[in-house]
Chain A
Amino acid sequence: MFKISLQINTMRKLLPFCFLILGFYLLKAQETFPVNGSHDKRPKKYAFVNATIVAKAGQRAEKGTLLVNDKLIEAVNGDQKVPPGYITIDLEGKYIYPSLIDAFSTYGVPESKEGRSFGRAPQVLTSTKNGAYGWNEAIRPETRAVDAFTGDTKEAEQLKKIGFGAVQTVLEDGIARGSSALVSLLGAEDNEAVLVADVGAHYSFDKGSAKTSYPSSLMGSIALLRQTYYDAQWYGQQQEEYNMSLEAFNKWQNLPQFFEVNDVLDVLRADKIAKEFSKQYVIKTGGNDYQRIKEIKATGASLIVPLNFPKAYDVDDPYEADKLSLAQLKHWELAPANPSFLEKAAVPFALTASGLDNIRSFWPNLRKAIQFGLSEETALRSLTEIPAQLLGVSDKIGTLEKGKLANFIITSDSLFKEGNIIYENWIQGEKFIANNVSTGDIRGEYATAIEGYGDAKLVIGGKSGKYEAHISTLKDTAQTKVNINVDGDLLTMSFNPKGTKSSFRISAYVTNEKPVQLKGDLSKMDGDVSPWSATYSGAYVAKPKKQVKNKSLDLGKVIYPFTAFGHEESPTATTVLLKNATVWTNESAGILQGADVLLVDGKIKGVGKGLSAAGAKVIDATGKHVTAGIIDEHSHIAISRGINEGTQSVTSEVRIADIINSEDVNIYRQLAGGVTTSHILHGSANAIGGQSQLIKLRWGKAPEELKFGGSDGFIKFALGENVKQSNWGEAAKIRFPQTRMGVEQVYVDAFTRAKEYKVNINKKDGKTRRDLELDALVEILDKKRFITCHSYVQSEINMLMHVADSLGFKINTFTHILEGYKLADRMAARSIAGATFADWWAYKMEVQEAIPYNAYLMEKQGVVTAINSDDAEMARRLNQEAAKVIKYGGLSEEEAWKLVTLNPAKMLHVDNRVGSIKVGKDADVVVWSDNPLSIYAKAEKTFVDGVKYWDGEEDEKVRSSQKKEKARLIAKLIEEKGKGSTTQKAVEKPTIVYHCETLLEENNDDFNHNQ
């Protein structure tokens, strides 16, 4: 640390770590540095007078005075008398604002390098860093931005030109990223530039340059961060080992906590972690917060919001334009309104220049945000006071007040006005010229005489500093453009009068008189030079600009979810009476003909003939079939960024619950296939995978609202080729196990550890480290969490049943279970359920004896049997897959139908709520056009909790209105390009479809097909 010399303001309360205290001193630089030659210390006292001073948003004083003494503000708008010894600067007509603060920047620190490779790299199980660090390279809280920081003059100038005075600089690498520094944009003088050495602690979901294989998925990142909090708690209470990473992690807990994400759902995810550990993150978002504004508001978190608005798409080629999704088009239109949405929702936020392709688009984009509804006051606050507050440095910067740093900008006009020029940006009392302030405004009309041209009128217009001029003779009004260049007092002009071959060049200066005169020499074609002058004769009158009618504020509505088929308004449950249908009850009543089903308040209220209900919406279902909604025991839809955390053999700490993605179009597609409940499973890459999540397909609801609610927790186990990594190539020969023999020992070891852990943690002596991986296994032992195990061949299935018997836990379900038919009797004896495919086989060695009679044989042996999908496509027609068991084996239709409804409900422990048409159960109901087991059957209406989320007829209307919406947006894009906006090419972004074996999200393209 540095020695301190100057301290401003009162010191903050003493913090427990001296390290931090040092950080809050203002560090005067160069004090200790030797000087080459004589010292040259200047008083640096300035008085800025006659300016319009906006000391902070909403506080504006005309003709104000700002006194600056060295680095600090001495007075603002106080006694107008300038004390002796001050240099007076007259800012008549100009404005002073606090310099802007960027709360999220990488100024002066190296950019992180991505560590991941797209191919199959060898597995790295623990950190490759030498030293007493933590085990995972993605947890690197020991890194400090200040250690890597060095001022970059060029980058600083770019930022200063657009008004920034100080930034929080962040090392954007890893999940726990260590501390950031608050630095001013002085340029090269690092010691002076560092304002607060450790200003914030930073986190993300991105492992960055970490070489450690774990985590490979978003849920793994979340789990790792969560576990790190517990590890750090434990670390703080023990004396046995030193760990630089955890040491630093704990040290930074008293700093403001920042979390960087790139998508609105990640904002919600980050905030959830914060709440779990009684933290409050300031979240740097991706700029699409408006898409779930209600949930964003509910987090209570402050945000740092980018101005990274997508460029207009080039849609001249309709074929290219077809690649664009409704979501992409709508986001293009609505992104500039994001700050305004946040303001209206009263979400506190700072704005950042980070994430811009080009720093020069900062002002155009900021003005766009204002045009799209952001108030100027909030805009200013979000770039000054709020970032200062979020960084805990309101005592230093953010407003113009006595004692604060002299960080301010001088502008030609009101800051946000189009055409405003930032002249100077003062940082810590040091002047930086952003744009030359000309001696004075020389715009106006001048009378002059030019030999060889005549008596003339010279008009200088344009903007101060960016003049435009033209000249005309008094006889003739034809205007000739004059090239004009003003540099301080000096100016040059040249022109070629139209229709002549002559040219004139003038070199002149601006007099100090008022009104000004221009005096100098005129050089003619023949080389003669003669004196020249022009006298001010009147003010410049700008031609009123044609006001471009602003159509861009006719914005489309936000839809939920923000993708095709999203709704502007969430559909609600109504009382519905389905009349005169064939009702497949799945109960002892069997299949009822000509029966009615009444749905009230999200529940089934009545089943039988001749029902009636006041106010009910009556749907004539004559000729239709009504069933309970389909339940998919094995699904991988509606998740974000990776279905497998297959980097370790045991990852029971990861949770699908953390990564539910409400914006997946497959939810809607599956509703169209009659699915109402899906069990979202971790993949099958490891023996003990992650915790699963049961969801209902409540299309449009936020992730938390998709969760089934009140159901038992499950976890995915897996056996077979994936677990032993036999199809992953040479790179995957490191992680244990590589054989089915090894798989058994993974289970034995895990549950043995879990049992020991259970004993120790129950002592509650605080000595046992909370281990989320083992917590989940203890839940299994305590029958609070249930296993669904991906499985193929009979040997391994038998093995796991034996392991479970001997270690005292129970398998709830074998999923996939393609050789279940070979030991269905043993499964039945242990009351283990089986969920399988109807007819998949031959895709790998372990399915060589997979047969389509499997479900039939299991069912007949008394195993509770289901048909599952593991596939977003197949899930749309699980009714057909169930029907195959009629073909293969000869199950009755009633039994076959239960394979995708009541039976999965039983194995998921939710048959008290769903799975049959029974009074009191949830109104998850499908109306089919035909016998649902027939290939000719179509789901016409699908209700979840009595809310109709799918309706074939309404779907047509939705498509037609969304087609119109796209056409509107395309027309707008064409108009935008016509205006000269820069455009980008259309890039298709289809939804990723996950399967059991999808390893990394990166590997999506390789693993789309065939399990």
Chain B
Amino acid sequence: MRTILKYISNITVLVTFIITAKAQPTIYPAKPQTGSISIKGATIHVGNGQIISNGTLVFEKGKITYVGDGNGAPSTAETIDAAGKHLYPGFIAPVTNLGLVEIEAVRATVDNTEVGDNNAHVRALIAYNTDSKVINTLRSNGIILAQVTPEGGLITGQSSVVQLDAWNWEDAAYKKDDAIHVNWPTVKYARFGNTNSEEQKERVIKERDVLNDLLTDAKAYCSVDKPVVFNARLEAFRNVFGGLKKVMVHVDKKNDMIAAVQFFKRHAIKPVIVGGADAHLVSSFLKENNIPVIIHQAHSLPAKDDDDVNLPYKQAKVLTDAGILVAYGMDGFWQQRNLPFMAGTAAAFGLEKEKALSTITLNTAKILGIDKTTGSLEQGKDANLFISSGDALDMKGNKIEKAFIVGRDINLNNLHKQLFERYEYKYGQK
């Protein structure tokens, strides 16, 4: 809230919300943008690698109508002076259980893992809790879109892309049922329990057969418009074969990645790889097959003792240099507020800063299939953007002063800011 108070703006509306927003339930979803707004003077990080110094961005009724140096910009009713500040496309958190889990250790609040191996039909969207207290703590760090994703089993279910300012999941949906997620069968390392890799290989073969049968059946099933007997699991693939729904395969090991891509290719599906711990070892294969990768967070330990200690920091650069479309994913939900710092870390370890930004904006949008409407600050796209007083990829500079989702001026308050305020009050610091 302090940052907001410091904010110099000609919008008086802001003042009123500061006074009224005292509790989480009163952090209202914003109303649709009716007029038009110009943001002037900011360093515009387009998201596609470009940067515009002292630029101007205009958006109207939720859409970006102008991005450039200001020449020829339409005039607007409202103007935000963002001189010296930075303007970014909203960050996108892919593959997260945000809104599906509220408290990890409290089972009653955990709604992301269904029982059973084949849950192609279950949908994360309808369990997404827009009233989760976590969501607002992400927005205030610049994350405004998320792909909420189920976990567990062989076929975990379907994710959806949501925007993080909504009354309920219906309003939140940004792209419904965008992907089916598959955990690629693999020999798991276990210190105890079934450590026999030979036995595990048998399981892996069986699971791959199950997948193969499923896709074969699904293909036949979906070739008929109205099958006689409805099958929810097979029906889930209809849009996959129609090219409207992606398959995201969660796979980390080198050989598994090759096997998975080959497998899906045989079924005429081009998968997205999620995880890709060894992706740097098969980069030419991935490039040849044009497979995008949502890599695991930079803030990880190397998988092997002998690995370069900084390998997780460098992976994004290695893959980007190899010409692979790369986005960052992270563990969990509350952790997603640190997503910008994954990109920052990649930049610290050699990836060009604007390319690093793409790993949490435009690249992610491309991989999720939403780049026509978001992911970068380009004319015609949704006004999903925010202003930061400093470099948003660095915790020192990440101070989000204003954010817009489809042009809606969202409230950046959250539970943490409220508790902060409460105890500043207690100690008379305010």
Contact = CB atoms under 8 A, between A and B. Distances in A.
B239 interface: no
Nearest to B393: A935
Nearest to B3: A890
B290 interface: no
Contact of A990 (B134, B304, B341): B304
B238 interface: no
Interface string A308-329: 0000000000010011011100
B332 interface: yes
Contacts of B303: 990
Interface stretch (A41-49, A285-293, A506-514, A852-860): A852-860
B337 to A, nearest CB: 7
A120 interface: no
A1005 B191 contact: yes
Given A825-B427, A935-B344, A990-B304, A843 B334 contact: yes
A118 interface: yes
Contacts of A966: 306
A727 B110 CA distance: 14
A118 B192 contact: yes
Contacts of B19: none
A810 B157 CA distance: 53
A563 interface: yes
Interface secondary structure of A, over-half rule: loop
Given A857-B420, A935-B348, A985-B197, A990 B189 contact: yes
Contacts of A888: 416, 420
A880 B103 contact: no
Nearest to A727: B105
B225 interface: no
Interface in A921-980: 931, 933-938, 955, 959, 962, 966
Interface in A314-347: 319, 322-323, 325-327
Nearest to B297: A873
A842 B427 contact: no
Interface string A448-468: 000000000000000000000
A1004 B416 CA distance: 32
B309 A668 contact: yes
A951 to B, nearest CB: 12
Contacts, number: 151
A1004 B193 CA distance: 12
B341 A721 contact: no
B311 to A, nearest CB: 10
Contact of A1005 (B104, B190, B338): B190
B396 interface: yes
B284 interface: no
B306 A874 contact: no
Nearest to B300: A873
Interface string B369-407: 000000000000000000000000111101100000000
B309 A955 contact: yes
A845 interface: yes
Contacts of B266: none
Interface string B325-366: 000000111100110010011011100000000000000000
Contacts of B83: none
Interface residues of A toward B: which range?
35 or more
A696 to B, nearest CB: 19
B301 A845 contact: no
Contact of A1010 (B332, B338, B423): B332
B310 A672 contact: yes
A790 to B, nearest CB: 15
A727 B106 CA distance: 8
| B-side interface size class | 35 or more
A851 interface: yes
Nearest to A847: B103
Q: Name B's interface SS.
A: loop
A889 interface: yes
A821 B303 CA distance: 36
A873 B415 CA distance: 27
Nearest to B281: A322
Contacts of B333: 842
Interface string B303-327: 1111011100000000000000000
A718 interface: no
A825 B299 CA distance: 34
Interface string A876-890: 110010011011111
Contacts of A840: 334
A860 B348 contact: no
B416 A851 contact: yes
A845 B192 contact: no
B334 A935 contact: no
Contacts of A991: 305
A873 to B, nearest CB: 5
B104 A1010 contact: yes
B423 A886 contact: no
B393 to A, nearest CB: 7
Contacts of A874: 299
Contact of A851 (B345, B420, B429): B420
Q: Which of B105, B301, B306 has the largest count of A CB atoms less than 10 A from its CB? A: B306
Given A844-B106, A848-B103, A934 B396 contact: yes
B347 A936 contact: yes
A264 to B, nearest CB: 17
Contacts of B104: 842-844, 1010
A883 B189 contact: no
Given A884-B395, A936-B394, A938-B348, A325 B429 contact: no
Contacts of B334: 840-843
A441 interface: no
Contacts of B301: 666, 669, 872-873, 876, 993
Given A665-B305, A886-B396, A990-B304, A860 B427 contact: yes
A825 B424 CA distance: 12
A993 B299 CA distance: 15
A774 interface: no
Contact of A962 (B193, B306, B347, B429): B306
B177 interface: no
A992 to B, nearest CB: 8
B344 A1004 contact: no
The 7 closest A-B pairs by CB, nearest first: A844-B105, A935-B344, A842-B334, A853-B420, A564-B306, A851-B416, A935-B394
25 contacts: A118-B193, A319-B255, A325-B305, A665-B305, A822-B423, A825-B427, A842-B103, A842-B104, A842-B134, A844-B105, A851-B420, A853-B419, A853-B420, A853-B423, A857-B427, A873-B300, A889-B420, A893-B396, A935-B345, A935-B394, A935-B396, A936-B347, A937-B348, A985-B197, A1005-B191
Given A887-B395, A993-B301, 11 more contacts: A669-B302, A821-B423, A843-B103, A849-B419, A851-B420, A873-B300, A883-B396, A935-B345, A990-B189, A990-B303, A990-B304
